[in-house]
């Protein structure tokens, strides 16, 4: 199993954030590689950068929000990604999307975040990972790891997925579903839950509150740009980075739009942590 270190000039900044808090849940055999406890008054821009605007065709997903830096707010030790009914140009809604591209990137490890989600129609919050360098080509050839996605209209469900390409170049994905009502939960997505991926050479396993939701063994995934025989781990054997966002409408929520009385919804993140093997 292989890990990659952060740029040395950034390492002290990344480990200082929240390092005074007692960590009692570090997995055996692992080291805390990165954390953000959101203890300051604003996002650390040496870690996070912002996506701005609506991308191409709503970031390729028919989303209707306009992403703004101002909609990512740090207060009371938590990150608040705020979706609003707010006019910006031709857009009626705003939200935020942040990423660690080029700043926090790694190959293999355990990634987790403690998050509360809004049970609000048309909201599409996500905690996910993308390839830092797209070594195997543009999406989906270099892969995508979705640790958590949710449809705000369904207050008891989240999903996880991996995306890749088949030998003919066709996009495909494998998905797992977490139904809190059938997994002995007493709370909804509006309560804080820990969403986690354990990513290794052999598998990608997704968890909610340490309950296994879905395991994707290496034999399932592939990329059209290299041979499975010569490079069986591709595309999930290169550096990936982290993303947090909350879209509004889009393909995942089947084009639902917010209710007429919608004004604001929040995705609240308590912390984000990455552990790598010793």
For residue 124, give every residue at least 6 positions away whose Cβ sits within 8 Å of its Cβ, in sequence order, or none: 63, 149, 150, 151, 152, 246, 247, 248, 249, 250, 252, 253
Options 149, 201, 215, 266, the catalytic residue: 149
The mean pLDDT of 16-42, rounded to a whole number, is: 76
User: Tell me, what's the pLDDT at 16?
Assistant: 36
Domain presence at residue 261? yes
What residues make up the domain containing 92? Answer: 11-19+27-277
Options 144, 191, 215, 266, the catalytic residue: 144
User: Tell me, what's the pLDDT at 23?
Assistant: 55
The mean pLDDT of 197-218, rounded to a whole number, is: 97
- Residue 144 annotated among the catalytic residues of the structure: yes
Q: Average pLDDT, whole number, for the chain?
A: 91
In the chain, what percentage of residues exceed pLDDT 90?
Answer: 85
- Residue 35 annotated among the catalytic residues of the structure: no
Domain presence at residue 2? no
CATH number of the CATH domain containing 52? 2.60.120.200
| pLDDT(66) > 60 | yes
Q: CA 94, CA 81: separation in Å to the nearest integer?
A: 10
Domain presence at residue 244? yes
Q: Which residue has the higher pLDDT, 193 or 185?
A: 193
Domain presence at residue 3? no
Query: Out of 51-60, 114-123, 177-186, 261-270, which region has the weakest mean confidence (pLDDT)?
Result: 177-186
Domain presence at residue 181? yes
The mean pLDDT of 72-93, rounded to a whole number, is: 98
Number of domains in the chain: 1
| pLDDT(2) > 50 | no
User: Tell me, what's the pLDDT at 186?
Assistant: 62
């Amino acid at each position: 199993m292989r890990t990659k270190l952060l740029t040395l000039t950034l390492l002290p900044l990344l480990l200082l954030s929240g390092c005074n808090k007692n960590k009692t849940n570090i997995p055996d055999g692992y080291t805390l590689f990165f954390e953000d406890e959101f203890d300051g008054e604003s996002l650390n821009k040496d870690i996070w950068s912002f996506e701005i605007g609506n991308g191409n065709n709503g970031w390729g997903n028919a989303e209707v929000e306009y992403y703004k830096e101002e909609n990512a707010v740090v207060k009371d030790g938590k990150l608040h990604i705020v979706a609003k009914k707010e006019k910006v140009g031709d857009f009626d809604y705003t939200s935020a999307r942040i990423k660690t591209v080029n700043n926090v990137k790694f190959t293999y490890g355990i990634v987790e975040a403690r998050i509360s989600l809004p049970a609000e129609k048309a909201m599409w919050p996500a905690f996910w990972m993308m390839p830092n360098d797209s070594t195997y080509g543009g999406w989906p050839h270099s892969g995508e790891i979705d640790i958590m996605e949710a449809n705000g209209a369904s207050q008891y469900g989240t999903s996880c997925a991996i995306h890749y390409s088949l030998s003919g170049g066709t996009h495909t994905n494998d998905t797992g579903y977490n139904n809190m009502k059938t997994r002995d939960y007493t709370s909804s997505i509006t309560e804080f839950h820990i969403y986690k991926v354990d990513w290794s050479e052999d598998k990608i396993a997704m968890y909610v509150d340490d309950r296994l939701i879905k395991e994707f063994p290496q034999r399932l995934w592939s990329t059209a740009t290299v041979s499975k025989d010569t490079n069986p781990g591709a595309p999930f054997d290169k550096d990936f980075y982290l993303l947090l966002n909350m879209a509004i409408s889009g393909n995942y929520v089947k084009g639902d739009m917010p209710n007429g009385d919608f004004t604001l919804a929040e995705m609240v993140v308590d912390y984000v942590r990455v552990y790598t093997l010793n």
